[in-house]
Amino acid sequence: MTKEPTNIVWHHATVTRARREAMNNHKAVNLWFTGLSGSGKSTLAHAVEERLHQLGCRTFVFDGDNVRHGLCSDLGFSVEDRSENIRRIGEMVNLFLQAGIIALTAFISPLKNDREKVQTIIGSDNFLEIHCACSLEICEQRDVKGLYKKARAGIIKNYTGISSPYEAPENPVLRLDSGSVPLEECVAQVISCLQKKQVI
């Protein structure tokens, strides 16, 4: 459990999020891509970032594997460690939002409670949940790392979709059929969503 900080006061800078957003000519927001391993979360997040970059937006992608090489390298894959992993990401995203950046996060984040904690950290208005709704069958067919095969053989424990649950979002801002809809069309739907919400 995280300890409450003592003798620490948040410093309020004169350069605010609003001023940074005005300079960037777009709002800061978090696009939270969630789904099973192999559902296309990272591929979609990076493709959306490329499109946003072409539009002149300031962006950053947080990818599950990449984050575990540094910020969360001390964590395992128990339920507790996975929850702490998501909490840390939420806190990091919050800082990026204050910097006026569109933060794209691609994490399995299988538990509804953990995703709700992120909303609490960054504010529900900043949290745009995007469900990459790809069937387990297709995800296993895409299993280039062989992780599902190892999970089915019992070599990998607590693997989402096999030996650990995935709680699909109930009301995501977008639910994309990333198993059959072309990547370009999924990107277009995300960009359209950001335009309708006047983020960009």
Residues taking part in catalysis: 109
Strand bridging mode 59-63 / 174-176: unpaired
Element (H, E) at 33: strand 30-34
- Assigned token pair, 61: 């992608």
CB count, 10 Å around CB of 40?
24
Handedness of CA 58, 62, 63, 68 (dihedral sign): positive
The residues with which 145 forms a beta bridge, in sequence order, are none
Residues 6+ apart with CB under 8 A from 121: 87, 90, 91, 93, 94
**Tokens found for residue 116:** 């709700």
**Number of other residues whose CB lies within 10 A of the CB of residue 193:** 15
Helix (H) or strand (E) holding 47: helix 41-54
- Helix 79-98 vs helix 17-24: crossing angle, to nearest 10: 70
Residues 130, 173: contact at Cβ < 8 Å? yes
